[in-house]
Amino acid sequence: MNDIHPIPVEGGFVGLISVYVNVVVVVFGAIVGSFLNVVIVRWPKEQSIVKPRSACPHCGRMIAWYDNIPVVSFVVLRARCRHCGGPISWRYPLVELLTAAFSLLMFHRFVGDVQHPSPGQVGAYLLYLGFVAGLVAITFIDLEHYLIPDLVTLTSIPIGILGVWAVEQVPGVPTDVRGSVIGALIGGGSLYLMRLIYQLIRKDEGMGLGDVKMMAMIGTFLGPHPALVFVIFVSSFLGSVAGITMMALKGKDLKYALPFGPFLAVGAIVYLLWGFRHAARLLPLEPFVRGIGLG
């Protein structure tokens, strides 16, 4: 009997391992996204995110495991409940696909050698995937309910500080534990100060405390400078563009309430993926970078 050997070409064998690892990372991200959908639906209703099992919002029937496979079930069922035919929201596969993509991006952001990742690299990947997943959950909740859950922001701050302390030596981690603590204080403090100034000038709240806590969370994971400058600038710019667009297309006035959390999330994710200078060129914001002496 002949022995069975692995693929003789080393490059091909390594390539198969790489493909396998990438598939696992993507599937893991989609599973995380499926859990985020539970948080997005249940947290605003003050329901448990642990139990009971997911059910159709139209007929109330429990969803079987084979109808709850991320993305796949949505496609197989053609966006309809198996029992009552009620429509399944596009948000479910969108969140799962987004989180799957971010899982892959975070993995390659922190793990250099796919075959031999260090515990620190895997830890950094999991830590920052959790951070980005939190931003995704905040985005969809804020867009629909104009709320930012303390469950995500306040819980993430101590986890982020401890996590950064554990992986701060891993290449690519944006800050160290000292920067994490300072980032939380400056991130929350700077937005709180902006909120107070706005209240004094306009006699209106303008920005909720949820945004303040979210900025403290972002500072925890990204550090103080230049991350917070970039995130505030980009989120303010994108928010202004969105606000002007809404006024032009729908006739809204200057008092139209626009959730700010999604713009903070975009700024934070762009910074995390590409860094200050690369992200500035991507947007492009090079004149701004030079203007504050970082170009």
Q: Is the pLDDT of residue 167 over 70?
A: yes
Arithmetic mean of pLDDT, 10-24: 76
Residue 80 pairs in a beta bridge with: 87
The reported pLDDT for the residue numbered 38 is: 94
Query: What are the tokens at 113?
Result: 């050698």
Q: Is the pLDDT of residue 15 over 50?
A: yes
The answer to pTM > 0.85 is: yes
pLDDT-based confidence at residue 1 (cuts at 50, 70, 90): very low
- Return d(Cα 205, Cα 216) in angstroms, integer: 19
Mean pLDDT (the chain) is 86
Q: Is the pLDDT of residue 2 over 80?
A: no
| Cβ–Cβ < 8 Å for 258, 239 | yes
**Per-residue 3-state assignment (H helix, E strand, C coil) for 173-191:** CCCCHHHHHHHHHHHHHHH
How distant, in Å, are the alpha carbons of 15, 70, 127 from that of 19?
6, 20, 23
Q: Is the pLDDT of residue 168 over 50?
A: yes
Q: Residue 48: exposed, middle, or buried by beta-carbon count in 10 A (0-12, 13-18, 19+)?
A: exposed
